[in-house]
Structure 1
Amino acid sequence: MAFLTIQELNTHLHDELVETITRGDATIAEAAIDAAIAEAKGYLTRFDCTRIFSASGSKRNQLLLIFVKDIAIWHLTNLCNAGTELQFRQDRYERAIDWLKAVQRGDVSPDLPDRETEEETGSNTPIGPIAYGSNPKRCQHF
């Protein structure tokens, strides 16, 4: 089962509005959902995205689900904003992206599964961000 289905979008946008925007073509709504999941995955790289987005039902993180729905509805209403206020949808989208950026920075710690460590996977792939830098360049004049 998918992380998010078209029928579950009805908590954010009525079924008849989804039907109007997509003109009965379910692939348009599925494309918006896929784009929203891909966008969220880009911010959640330090977590196990495979486990997060393969969950279904009550096993999903409900806050993440709400924000993925907001992003999907934003992508859907960009096609046609029939029956919904575009500014409201834009505000919800920006709120979702701000939350994902806060998670990415580490300001917010959601209850999401971490990526497996090197000992668990047996590989040498780096886990997490790597910081590097150097001292400022110095000019010495004699």
Structure 2
Amino acid sequence: MSKPHWSKCPASSLHKQASRLRKQIPVSSAFISPEQNHYYLHLKPPTPMPLITPADLSTHIYTEIINEITRNDDSIASIAINAAIQEAKLYLSRYNLVQLFGTETTEPVINDTLLKSLVKDIAVWHLLKLSNTNIDQATHRLAYEDAIKTLKNIMSGAAVPDGWPFAEPATNEPDGDTISWTSNAKRKNYY
């Protein structure tokens, strides 16, 4: 957990703009010190940006349809996105998943449009399973199957995306206490 960061600013310059600043800066608490005439803001640590957000799905499906399927509840779209990310991770275990997808506390290091597009295809399919409102499901089912096929090709090594970092190999060095011996195959001579 990060330490709280308090920012000290003159009250004369910020007091009138406090409500505007609260909307622009992530502030968890604020107070004015009357004896020092300063305005203190307790700044929240920045939250990391996920690989894709519900707003990013608009490149694959219209926003109106997303709102109709989810009934304007972004948490449903977030659940579909998280399921899609977990499904994509199943196929990409050879790669450094922290750099590709990030964690709850860090952002992804690699910003790859192919990976985002594949995750969006999978997430859209998870959303469409809820409803078929004004959508040709066969088209999106084909896009989902193509995304899974691409992930399987990447998993098998048939396709290697440029710039994706591989996972660190586990080193299993021998202890030096093993012995190995071999012999020739037994000959069968019959007279």
Q: Normalised by the size of structure 1, how large is the TM-score?
A: 0.79
Residue matched to 1:94: 145
Distance 2:108 2:157 in 1: 25
Identity, in percent, stands at: 40
How far residue 117 of structure 1 moved from its aligned partner, in angstroms, is 3.6
1:86-114 deviation digits (Å, cap 9, x = unpaired): 00000000000000000111100012111
Aligned residue-pair number: 119
Q: Which has the higher strand share?
A: 2
Deviation for aligned residue 1:116 = 2.0
Which deviates more, 79-88 or 91-100? 79-88
Q: For structure 2, which runs of at least 5 residues remain unmatched after alignment? A: 1-48, 173-191
Compute the displacement of 1:82 (Å). 1.0
Q: Runs (4+) of structure 1 moved beyond 3 Å?
A: none
8 Å Cα contact 2:96-2:167 kept in structure 1: yes
Q: Which has the higher contact order (CA 8 A, sep 6+)?
A: 1
Task: Find the aligned partners of 1:60 and 1:109 in 2 and give their Cα distance.
Answer: 16
Question: d(CA) in 1 for partners of 2:97 and 2:134?
Answer: 33
Greater mean deviation of Cα atoms: 108-117 or 33-42:
108-117
Larger helix proportion of the pair: 1
RMSD: 1.6
Identify which of 72, 85, 98 aligns with 1:24: 72
- Report Cα offsets for 1:34-88 as digits up to 9, x if no partner: 000000000000101111012559x411111111100000000000021211000
Structure 1 residues 56 and 13, CA gap change in structure 2 (3 angstroms):
farther
SS at match of 1:52: helix
Deviation digits for residues 104-132 of structure 1 (CA, Å, limit 9, x no counterpart): 111000121111245xxxx65xxxxxxxx
Partner of residue 132, structure 1: none
Residue in structure 2 matching 1:63, options 99, 105, 114: 114
Paired residue secondary structure (2:100): helix
**Secondary structure of the corresponding residue to residue 95 of structure 1:** helix
Which of the residues 38, 42, 55 maps onto 1:7?
A: 55
2:167 counterpart residue number: 115
Structure 1, unmatched stretches of 5+, are 125-142
Greater gyration radius: 2
